[in-house]
Structure 1
Amino acid sequence: MHGVSLLYGFDLMKRSSDELIATVTRAAISEQTKSFVETRAGATSFINGGADLLAGAGMTSAKKEGSGDKDKDARGYHLWAAMEQSGMTVKSGSYSDTQGYGFAVGWTRELGRKGHTLLFSPFVEYGRGKYDSYLDDGVHGSGKISYLGVGVMGRVENAQGLWAEAALHGGKTRSDYSGSLYTGTSSHYDSSNAYYAAHLGIGKEMKTNEKDRLNTYLRYFWSYQSGMQAKIHTGGRNASVDEYDFGAVSSNRVRLGFTYTHKDSDKSEIFAGLAWEYELSGKATASYQGYETPSPSLRGGSGMLEVGYRFAPKDSRFSYDLRFTGWQGKRQGYSGGAHVNWAF
């Protein structure tokens, strides 16, 4: 074994009565090195959670604050904010658990045009969390994940309820790893790299009666983590410093769903929705001295259920949004939070 990464096979040959010669006949990378790569899969899952926040609570907050009072407000730029706490398990061949929060704040403006409205909003996003990864043989890795980025999103909607939206954002993500691949060893590394993400959505919102609305949608999400190099330090037995090349990670998700909203009163409404999502890629890769490690993958389908309550007085500078989302399938877990939005 070289460090904790490579395993060797030997042939022994007896040269004399007191001398043996060992010849290396094969070398292979350890299956346990997959634990190092799980960090990248967990980071992609966490970044994707930030994109979900923007498409859900973020877009809702921006739309509410941007519109203002159509009769009294000059529709200048308004501030909005959205925050969610989440806990997610992703089955990646093994599995990883991530817990943390995401926060987005921006300023928005809605422009009225003949027959349609246009929403425009720059924003800043931040997320911080922790993860635990587990291989099938019990190898455990853990660490922290964070991201900080900027972006812009927009939405256009016509009088018939047809709408389209888009968001583009990017920044830097940081993560670290600590774990033990074998008894008597302890490995760790730190990493940082650029990330980029975007989403596109189309849909139609229609009234079913005076108090109820049905919103159907199709959304596509993309995220990308750039490749990087990291030195993995191992102490204890088989102490070593191994330099790994981590490949870029791309995620491509398609989501089809609907949301039903009921106006409970002039000042409040409740909503619920269902969606099906499929991850088309999400494979994390790495190599050491030309040997490819086992690769976790996020590919697969998941179902989503969301419920919430929105308190939005027409003439108030504040609105309140309580939202909970549950996932089952490839992704299992929850996200939820209380969003307080304001305009000046």
Structure 2
Amino acid sequence: AENNEKAENNTITISGGKAYDVYAAVTGGGDAVGNTVQMSGGEVAYLGGAATDYGDRKDGSAINNKVIMSGGKAQEVAGGEVFEAGIAQGNSVKMTGGEAQNVYGGGTYSSSAKENYVEISGKAIVTGSGDNGYEEDGEKVNNKGVYGAISGASSGESFGSLENNSVKISGEAQVSNAYGAYSFGGADVIGNSVEISGNATVSGDVYGGSSATGSVSGNIVKIGGNATVSGNVYGGHSITGSVTDNTIELSGNANVDNANLFGYDKKTSTVSFSRTLSQKAASSGNTLTIKGWSGSVKQVKDFEKIKFGEIDLDNLPSNGTVLTITNLNNNDLENTFIDAQGVKFKSGTEIKAGMALNFIASGNDQELYINDDNIEFGNFTAGVAQEGEGKLELQDGKLIYTSTEVHASGQTHLVAENRAVAAAFVNQGSELIADALDTLSRTDGYGVKTFAAVYGNHSKYDVNSDLKINGWSSIVGVGSEKQLAQGDFSWGVFYENGSGNYRTANSFNNEFFRGDGSLVYNGGGITASYAKKSGSYAEASLRAGMLKSEMDNALKDINGAGYGYKSETAYYGAHLGIGKILTLNESTSVDLYGKFFHTYNKGDNFDVAGDKFEFDSITSDRLRLGTRYTVNKNNKWSSYYGIAWEYEFNGDADMKAMNKAVPTQSMQGSSYMAEIGLNYQPNTASPWSFDLSMRGYAGEREGFSGNVQAIYNF
């Protein structure tokens, strides 16, 4: 397209043959947008999604053009190229196979390139040799390879910038050199990245960003997986511009045994088509980050900071050192700040006080030297379960980290709290059993009876951190009431079910997050009561079942990922009650009672993100003393009002996280209850009876509940 015409959404497919230049679109003054070249075979010299250099007009933009290459060969591959006034943005090259010498997502001469990217994966090869017209110390530099973006303006020009371009190399790809962005001249190079992972191999140099005279800042090189890098690795490079806040990050099982790592490039350089530039770049904030990696490297220097972020104790090399520098000069790190504040150990390893670990050691006869004022240490975390404090100091030529204090992570307290509340929720089921017996005693008639009740509640429990739970419990059963010489005897068998949910708030590494919990129990049991004609009575029940508790997003790990857990335990319960009903007149009575509830919840253990959690068993022993006042006993509508005091003697939930005790969560203490209820029996001949009640709670347990019961007498 020429004369400012736009070239858009054109496609070329190459599966074989030979050609020189192949571009999906070329414009003269117009924009090239969304054009694509796909290559699976054949051989070409130059392969591009789009270029804007046709004729006399060279000011069009190249936006979102693509090259997709799965096979074949090319000397140079470009997603999109611009020259004078246009911008190269969002262009890409994706190679899953084939071979090339020089690859860049976006190319410019004197304008900007932003958000272009290159992905090299599979078994693709980019091993071109030769230079792109650049010299250092008077010699041509072999800098052909992979670029997120490249700018060709000379060092005397400073048009445009290279921002947020990226290179990703993965699979079994082989690459010579890799650059997040590269400017021959004065373009600023900002926020670009190179990420090398999988089993990829980079045999040459790697730069987060490079500019001859522009500023270079915020670029990053990530080397992880099982990738191998054997050349020089620079966070940033500029001859006269500033080089600030660039990062090299090592993770996984990356092999950098034969690599040299530099925060920035200090070399005096010469641009081939310009003057010699002898002024060295100012630098600050350039960082090497260790993130779950350990191993050796030939050289580490020119970093303002080395940050130990994440340590994998299970994957340390045989010498037990996180970072071994095999070609150390003793003053390489003299002015480097070592940051071990907030070290993060991976999950699954128990940390003990006094554990010593080599963070940095020399692999030659040079002794490591670091200024004591440049060493910072403090708190650490380990997985989701542990945290503590440590210190970092030079000892015998090594930088050694020692844990001084270790305890369970504060976020694990919530798990113990949830456990206590789960046990309390099961305890509520015993109230429903006792209520069913009370309702049976208020109905007329003997023989076989069926009963059912639904109990809804909203409660807050005063454990170490108040937790609110909304739940429903139900009971269905069959029983019988028989008249004896001295009174009435009732018995029944029942099935019980309960389900509840709640929300939690937790924090980890200064991040606050919400979790969601759910509880379900299923069980059954037997119950019996004996009421004398004098008004005295006794009652008892036995119950057993399974309690399931589940939490989503309960805990965070060192990388910020959320984890939940599931627990399933058996429970057993019993209750005994005695009381005396005092008849005031034909329609009014007062019930004075005492009831004792015992519940036992078995322990459990489970893993969260590789960390082991152990629940101890929970025993609950509650005594309730109360009175109930009933009126209109002989009417089909009768009502009752009651108050009670309850005391929990035990109710302690103990837990360990990676063998570290978590503070006991206790429900021990007093609660107070007030109730109002209504009983309906159409007439003495009716087999049906219904009961409705509401209760309010204060003290250790706060909240309210409602209960609906129905009884059918055969």
**Fold shared by both chains (TM-score > 0.5):** yes
Aligned residue type for 1:208: L
- SS of aligned partner of 1:251: strand
Secondary structure in 2 aligned to 1:266?
coil
Q: Which has the higher strand share?
A: 1
Q: 2-11 vs 165-174, which deviates more?
A: 2-11
Structure 1 segments unaligned to the other structure (5+ residues): 69-74, 233-239
Amino acid aligned to 1:156: Y
Shift of residue 335, structure 1, vs aligned partner: 1.0
Match of 2:437 among 33, 52, 59: 59
Residue 247 (1) aligns with residue 616 (2): yes
Q: Give the partner amino acid of 2:580.
A: K
Per the alignment, do residues 45 and 140 of structure 1 end up closer, same or farther by CA in structure 2, a change over 3 Å counting? farther
In 2, the alpha carbon distance for the partners of 1:200 and 1:41 equals 23
Partner of 1:23: 402
What are the Cα deviations for residues 199-251 of structure 1, in whole angstroms up to 9, with x where unaligned? 1111100111121000000111111110011122xxxxxxx321211100111
Report if aligned partners of 1:35, 1:140 keep a CA contact under 8 Å in 2: no
The answer on whether the counterparts of 2:590 and 2:630 sit within 8 Å (CA) in structure 1 is yes
- The one-letter code of the counterpart of 2:637 is S
1:175, 1:191 within 8 Å by CA — same for their partners in 2? yes
Runs of at least 4 residues of structure 1 off by over 3 A?
61-65, 133-141, 179-183
Query: Is 1:96 the equivalent of 2:467?
Result: yes
Separation of aligned partners in 2, 1:210 and 1:146: 44
CA distance in 1, matches of 2:642, 2:513: 38
Label 1:128 to 1:136 Cα distance change in 2 as closer, same or farther (>3 A).
same
Contact conserved, 2:586 with 2:633, CA < 8 A, in 1? no
How much is the aligned-residue C-alpha RMSD, in angstroms? 2.1
1:32 paired with 2:411, answer yes
Gaps of 5+ in 2: 1-380
Deviation at 1:289, TM superposition (A): 3.0
Q: Cα 1:264–1:153, aligned 2, differ >3 Å: closer, same or farther?
A: closer
Once the two structures are superposed, residues 109-143 of structure 1 have per-residue CA deviations (whole angstroms, 9 ceiling, x without a partner) of: 11221112211111111111112345699775431
Q: Deviations over 1:72-97 (max 9, x none)?
A: xxx43221111111111001121111
Counterpart of 2:526 in structure 1 is 152
**For residues 384 and 465 of structure 2, what CA distance do their matches in structure 1 show?**
19
Matched residue SS, 2:382: coil
Note if contact 1:166-1:198 (Cα within 8 Å) is conserved in structure 2: yes
Q: Which amino acid aligns with 2:569?
A: N
Say whether the 8 Å CA contact 1:271–1:308 is kept in structure 2: yes
Call closer, same or farther: CA 1:307–1:136 in 2, change over 3 Å: farther
Q: Helix, strand or coil for the counterpart of 2:663?
A: coil
What is the match of residue 640 of structure 2?
Answer: 271
Q: Is 1:299 matched with 2:673? A: no
User: What residue is the counterpart of 1:13 in the other structure?
Assistant: 393
* Aligned equivalents of 2:514, 2:484: Cα separation in 1: 56
Q: Deviations over 1:115-174 (max 9, x none)?
A: 122111111111111123456997754311011111011111111101010011011110
1:290 deviates by 2.1
Match of 2:688 in 1: 318
Counterpart for residue 286 of structure 1 = 655
The answer for the alignment partner of 1:217 in structure 2 is 593
Q: 1:64 to 1:211 in 2, by over 3 A?
A: closer
Structure 1 equivalent of residue 536 of structure 2: 162
Instruction: Name the SS of the counterpart of 2:666 in structure 1.
Output: coil
1:61 is displaced (CA, Å) by 3.5
Aligned partners of 2:587, 2:439: CA distance in 1, in Å? 21
Provide the residue aligned with 1:343 in structure 2: 713
Residue of structure 2 in register with 1:237 after alignment:
none
Query: Is 2:516–2:554's contact at 8 Å kept on the other side of the alignment?
Result: no
Corresponding residue pairs, total = 328
Match of residue 4, structure 1, among 369, 384, 388 = 384
Higher-RCO chain (CA-CA 8 Å, sequence separation at least 6): 1
User: What letter corresponds to residue 169 of structure 1 in structure 2?
Assistant: R
The residue that corresponds to 1:71 in the other structure is: none
Distance 1:265 1:77 in 2: 22
Residue identity in the other structure for 1:317 = P
* Matched residue type, 1:217: Y
Alpha-carbon spacing, 1:311–1:275, altered in 2? closer, same or farther (3 Å): same
Which of 696, 702, 705 aligns to 1:332? It is 702
Q: What is aligned with 1:72? A: none
Give the letter aligned to residue 80 of structure 1: F
1:295 to 1:187, Cα distance in 2 relative to 1, 3 A: farther
Task: Verify the 8 A CA contact 1:61 1:81 in the aligned structure 2.
Answer: no
Selected match of 1:131 from 496, 502, 511: 502
1:176 partnered with 2:547? no
Which moved further from structure 2: 138-147 or 277-286?
A: 138-147
Once the two structures are superposed, what CA deviation does each residue of 1:252-280 show, in whole Å capped at 9, x if it has no partner?
A: 11111000000176211010000000111
TM-score calculated relative to the size of structure 1: 0.90
Local SS of the residue matching 1:314: coil
* TM-score normalised by structure 2 residue count: 0.44
Provide the rounded CA distance (Å) in 2 between the counterparts of 1:135 and 1:3: 16
* Closer, same or farther: CA 121–76 of 1 in aligned 2, 3 Å: same
Report the residue type matching 1:164 in the other structure: A
Q: Is the 8 A contact 2:411 2:507 kept in 1?
A: no
Assess, with a 3 A threshold, how the Cα gap between structure 1 residues 134 and 261 changes in structure 2: closer, same or farther.
Answer: farther
Contact 1:95 1:134 in 2 (8 A): no
- Supply the distance in 2 between the matched residues of 1:230 and 1:15 (Cα, whole angstroms): 39
Distance in 1, matches of 2:606 and 2:665, equals: 18
Would you say 1:43 and 2:414 are equivalent positions? no
Choose 305-314 or 3-12, whichever is displaced more: 3-12
- Identity among equivalent positions (%) equals 31
Give 2:448's match in structure 1, choosing from 77, 83, 93: 77
CA contact (8 A) 2:463 2:667 kept: yes
Measured in 2, the distance between the counterparts of 1:152 and 1:171 equals 12
